[in-house]
Structure 1
Amino acid sequence: MSVGARVLFSPGLAFDDVVFEQVDNGCFVVFDRFSGRLLVNSDGAWTSFSRGDVHFLPLERVPWLQVHLPRDYYCEERLFSEIRGFFMEHLDVADDTLYDVYSCFVLASWRPEDFNVVPYLFFLGPLASGKTRALECFHRLCYRAVMASSMSAASLFRALEAWHPTLLLDETEVYSRKEMVEVLALLNSGYRRGQYAIRVEKVKGGNPQIAVFDTFGFKVLAGTEELAASLQSRCIVTKMSKAVKPVKLFIDEEKAQELLDKLLMYRFKSLGRNNNEAFSDFESFPNARVLELFISLLTVAPSNNIRQRLMDYMAEMVQNRLNEEQASIEARVFESILKCEDKVENGRLSTQAVTEVFNEGLPEKEKVSSRLIGRVIARLGFEKCKISRGGLAGFYWNSKLVERLKMRYGLDSPETPFSPLSPQTPRTTTSVSGENGENRACLKGLKAVYWNDSFYDWHQCAFCGQTRLTSWQAEDFKGGKHWICENCKQEWEKLLEN
């Protein structure tokens, strides 16, 4: 160690040329990223590692299960299959595709430096439904996995800032109301790189001392109650129930250790690899939140078949979320607004008229007030006003907003099934109005082009004849509707400019 060197205690770090990680003998293992080999220390074990004027020392103790020694693996697809098999032997879930999700989540957790946004997993279910077993599986396999149920909120912030572990949080209900507010702040800020949680650490002389924490990282949650809507939308949710197929009573610790050793070698070999081509066709995916959840998983998926299954599951999530939106009070109020279109006078519609339509056929106890309907209308984006006759409360009719809301809630869509396919298995489908490649429509004859949230799929563009992943629809002046790809849409926009 050079004179004046700064000493830092660390479980490991990644640099452009080397990666080092603390293992169970209290020393470091060092990997040369350029040569793809483990480095041997002439003095024996790596009891320390120096970089510039910083001297790194291992932690005396770590709160996660440690690698014994990195172990090579045959190929990434074989490693994925072993991880998937581990989950299948220990955990029973309703949808087998979730085993693919879990396996990719484990792989991605060993490469947190490669991602700017990461998903959370949330296991929701009653007592004795397998939630804790799920967390135990991730505890055995994920990168620096820390079971956080016994940790205070303050220690959680400091652990995430210092080590960026994979956080496993069981039964969020165990926290007090004050602590839970802090835990939610941690979770709300921790899914995207560059977002920070801010806490008041202490007060000195009447002045609060503000601390900023980097809480970014993979997290797995479990509980008996749903999370706040904004937080749950950032989770891939597994609804748990009592196992119906036999699973191992105890965790196979020997297999878990073998996989843990292989996963450290996976980190060494794959860290920094760019797999953006795996999802380049999803830049226009209709639901950005769902795409964010799967970006890291698509990146680490070791084969096209696995990526296909993930994308099918993404499509199902999008449809489920659309169904939930359509059942929401916002969707029901908007549907009532559409039914009142013939009652619009001078560009205005009364809130009372919408309320009467909304309440039609409802039992007296389930009818809602005009005040509630007015608040929902405001949330939908309509501007409030007074109706000239009698001064009744109302709102301005906004045709552009109406069209956007129709697309959002799927209330003005052709009857086409929603089933996105991957680029590896494109399917040729006809355009909305039935054209084929021999009878293409003309871009100059289009009245409008709009995005349809509900039908993101492989469609044959009516203008270039290519089958592409799209949800853009074009409408001509005769009322005909056609599928249109992104490239042709841009060409149409250029025609408008000219």
Structure 2
Amino acid sequence: MSNDKILPFTGKDPIQEAIKQLPADAGALYSPALLKRLQQIRQQDPAQFARIRQQAKASKVLSMTEFDRLTAILETEDASSGSSLFKEVEPWPEVVDGAELLDELSHTLRRYVVADKETLNAAALWATFTWLVDVVSVCPIAHITAPEPRCGKSVLLTALGKLAYRPLQVSNIATAALYRSIELWSPTLLIDEIDAFLAAHEDARGILNAGFTRDSAVVIRCVGDDHMPTAFNVWGAKALCGIGDIAITLADRSIPLRMRRRTSGERAENLRRSDTRLWERLQSRLARFAQDNAEAIGQARPEIIQGLNDRANDCWEPLLAIAEQAGGHWPKLARNAAMVLHGLEGEAPSIGAELLADIKAIFNQKSTSKLFSVDLLAALVEDEEAPWAAWNRGQPMRLRQLADRLSGFGIKSKQLRIGLEGGRKGYEQSDFVEAWNRYLSSNTPSQSSTPLQANNHVAYSDFQRSTQCDPVEDKKSLQATNDRGCRVVEDKTPPLQKEAEKRASTEDNDGEYF
């Protein structure tokens, strides 16, 4: 390489020389001429540039992160623009009808992907959303999932990559490369085998979560030799593909696209052999639709979908805005897809909600208002199909683990007296009412999947109600009867559930005394 193109190095500190040329209130650290000089030296004489960099570090005028960024502008111009990775798309020359475009997208996906129509309609809306990510305030994740391999997950991910804006499809990516890639290129990130990826890079989950809303789409990392805290923008569309469920924090920010293995009678065309002109045409039409409708979609505030939780409604906000702007039957199709996909999602409650539901069923089954902790736990682990029987690495859940789980809902054990037994910790039914109302949906079964059986005193206090009169209130002290020689009557409050009240009022009294 010829040295005549390199500006001579005079030995003067270039940082200090630059400062002398700047006015006192200037925010810039370099003049354009000096910046160009440093970029040229960096490109043509790395050794000389290393000496200059050392001078810059010693001067402490700026961080090495900032120094490297400024001097690398020309060197990485092509890379930062992503010109080698992403093909520029020429918008369609004519105005695009939104409803027809979405119909075409859904129909095209159906040619190559076997899935329910709601999944394909949601995928078509999400692919359109990637072209409008700069004008919306919520960035939902597309979560492609299936219970088993060979259900077409990767096929749908690849198809979305052929439709999305600036697609960057990867099977694995280092955490540091993840946030740098998003800030550098603003791609639509498509990650396959997300289950394996998150198992190896747990800290990447926070980066993916952070990009859900524009206000929170920033992560701070220490970079450079001096470990300078630096903000990285992680705003951008993301699609995750994998087997089974993902972390609840990610699932909560996602549009669920559920896949299933096709039957012998279901057919799909080979995506790998598809005509590239088909996808180029669709991308061009998407570009034109986004160009013409970006302002309207960015300002849209669609009505929420009744029955969906707040986070699910947030996820669907940009997709509903697109559907309403497109018009035709798409507003109805979009809302139907949301209710079907998230309705299915509601059938798989979180582990905490499942615990609350099982405890509610146990209180109903036993028609009691109080349970000792050991008895409640015994009833929980009695069901071998429930997770509690193998909670502790194949062993039953422990009392401490039960207490920890319930404490997260503000429920704590207390000293109880049930019948003649006292001085043991347990729970009252009233302790759970608020949590049941907050975390169990109206359609959550109040009974477990195990049929109700006579308890035969298993995992339950041996003391039953001794009279047919109204139950004694908890606040009243236990009294012995005057004429029957009964030592004590169990203190009980009426069960809160109507079913329990009905059962309590009709159960036979055997007249047993203690």
**Fold in common (TM above 0.5):** yes
Does structure 1 retain, via aligned residues, the 8 Å contact 2:90–2:287? Answer: no
Q: How does 1:303-314 map onto structure 2 within 5 Å?
A: 303=327, 305-314=329-338
* Shift of residue 298, structure 1, vs aligned partner: 0.6
* Shift of residue 280, structure 1, vs aligned partner: 2.1
Q: In structure 2, list runs of 5 or more residues that go unmatched.
A: 1-30, 36-76, 391-395, 447-497, 499-514
Deviations 1:354-375 (A, max 9, x none): 2244345659966644334333
- 2:240 is matched with 221
- 2:113 is matched with 91
Does structure 1 retain, via aligned residues, the 8 Å contact 2:172–2:197? Answer: no
Taking a change above 3 Å as real, the CA distance of residues 153 and 259 of structure 1, as seen in their structure-2 partners, is same
Q: 1:404 aligns with which of 423, 427, 437?
A: 437
Does structure 2 retain, via aligned residues, the 8 Å contact 1:124–1:225? Answer: yes
Does structure 2 retain, via aligned residues, the 8 Å contact 1:381–1:401? Answer: no
Counterpart-to-counterpart distance in 2, 1:173 and 1:372: 26
Counterpart-to-counterpart distance in 2, 1:406 and 1:186: 27
Matched, 1:294 2:316: yes
Supply the AA of the counterpart residue of 2:431: N
Q: How does 1:249-398 map onto structure 2 within 5 Å?
A: 249=271, 250-274=273-297, 279-280=302-303, 282=305, 285-301=307-323, 302-303=326-327, 305-325=329-349, 328-339=354-365, 342-344=368-370, 350-359=372-381, 368-387=397-416, 390-395=422-427, 397-398=430-431
- 2:153 is matched with 131
Counterpart-to-counterpart distance in 1, 2:247 and 2:445: 30
SS at match of 1:236: strand
Matched, 1:153 2:185: no
Does structure 2 retain, via aligned residues, the 8 Å contact 1:118–1:191? Answer: yes
* Shift of residue 149, structure 1, vs aligned partner: 3.1
Does structure 2 retain, via aligned residues, the 8 Å contact 1:148–1:156? Answer: no
Does structure 2 retain, via aligned residues, the 8 Å contact 1:340–1:354? Answer: no
Higher share of residues assigned helix? 2
Supply the AA of the counterpart residue of 1:237: P
Matched, 1:166 2:166: no
Does structure 1 retain, via aligned residues, the 8 Å contact 2:163–2:279? Answer: yes
Deviations 1:150-183 (A, max 9, x none): 64332221221133221111123564865x1242
Counterpart-to-counterpart distance in 1, 2:32 and 2:381: 74
Counterpart-to-counterpart distance in 1, 2:383 and 2:175: 49
TM-score by length of 2: 0.60
Does structure 1 retain, via aligned residues, the 8 Å contact 2:320–2:334? Answer: yes
Deviations 1:179-237 (A, max 9, x none): x1242222111112121223232452xxx322222212211111235322221232223
Counterpart-to-counterpart distance in 2, 1:119 and 1:65: 24
SS at match of 2:295: coil
SS at match of 1:64: coil
Supply the AA of the counterpart residue of 2:235: F
Counterpart-to-counterpart distance in 1, 2:113 and 2:342: 25
Does structure 1 retain, via aligned residues, the 8 Å contact 2:189–2:237? Answer: yes
Supply the AA of the counterpart residue of 1:215: V
* Shift of residue 329, structure 1, vs aligned partner: 2.9
Deviations 1:415-455 (A, max 9, x none): xxxxxxxxxxxxxxxxxxxxxxxxxxxxxxxxxxxxxxxxx
- 2:137 is matched with 116
Does structure 2 retain, via aligned residues, the 8 Å contact 1:119–1:191? Answer: yes
Counterpart-to-counterpart distance in 2, 1:239 and 1:304: 25
Q: How does 1:72-91 map onto structure 2 within 5 Å?
A: 72-91=94-113
Supply the AA of the counterpart residue of 2:280: Q
Deviations 1:52-99 (A, max 9, x none): xxxx99937242232145432441112222222221222221x11222
Counterpart-to-counterpart distance in 2, 1:401 and 1:173: 35
Supply the AA of the counterpart residue of 1:248: N
Deviations 1:311-366 (A, max 9, x none): 2232234433332228823321233245566333xxxx532342244345659966
Counterpart-to-counterpart distance in 1, 2:184 and 2:329: 37
* Shift of residue 386, structure 1, vs aligned partner: 2.9
Does structure 1 retain, via aligned residues, the 8 Å contact 2:182–2:233? Answer: yes
Taking a change above 3 Å as real, the CA distance of residues 264 and 362 of structure 1, as seen in their structure-2 partners, is closer
Counterpart-to-counterpart distance in 1, 2:282 and 2:389: 58
Supply the AA of the counterpart residue of 1:218: A
Deviations 1:242-269 (A, max 9, x none): 4431313413210111121222222211
Does structure 2 retain, via aligned residues, the 8 Å contact 1:131–1:222? Answer: yes
Taking a change above 3 Å as real, the CA distance of residues 394 and 409 of structure 1, as seen in their structure-2 partners, is farther
How large is the RMSD of aligned CA atoms in angstroms? 3.5
TM-score by length of 1: 0.62
Does structure 2 retain, via aligned residues, the 8 Å contact 1:188–1:231? Answer: yes
Does structure 2 retain, via aligned residues, the 8 Å contact 1:287–1:318? Answer: no
Does structure 2 retain, via aligned residues, the 8 Å contact 1:333–1:376? Answer: no
Taking a change above 3 Å as real, the CA distance of residues 101 and 239 of structure 1, as seen in their structure-2 partners, is closer
Bigger relative contact order, structure 1 or 2 (CA pairs below 8 A, ≥6 apart): 2
Matched, 1:142 2:189: no
Taking a change above 3 Å as real, the CA distance of residues 137 and 307 of structure 1, as seen in their structure-2 partners, is same
Task: Give the total of aligned pairs.
Answer: 353
SS at match of 1:392: strand
Does structure 1 retain, via aligned residues, the 8 Å contact 2:221–2:231? Answer: yes
Q: In structure 1, list runs of 5 or more residues that go unmatched.
A: 9-55, 414-478, 480-498
* Percent identity over paired residues: 17
Does structure 2 retain, via aligned residues, the 8 Å contact 1:92–1:247? Answer: no
Higher alpha-carbon Rg: 2
Does structure 2 retain, via aligned residues, the 8 Å contact 1:190–1:217? Answer: yes
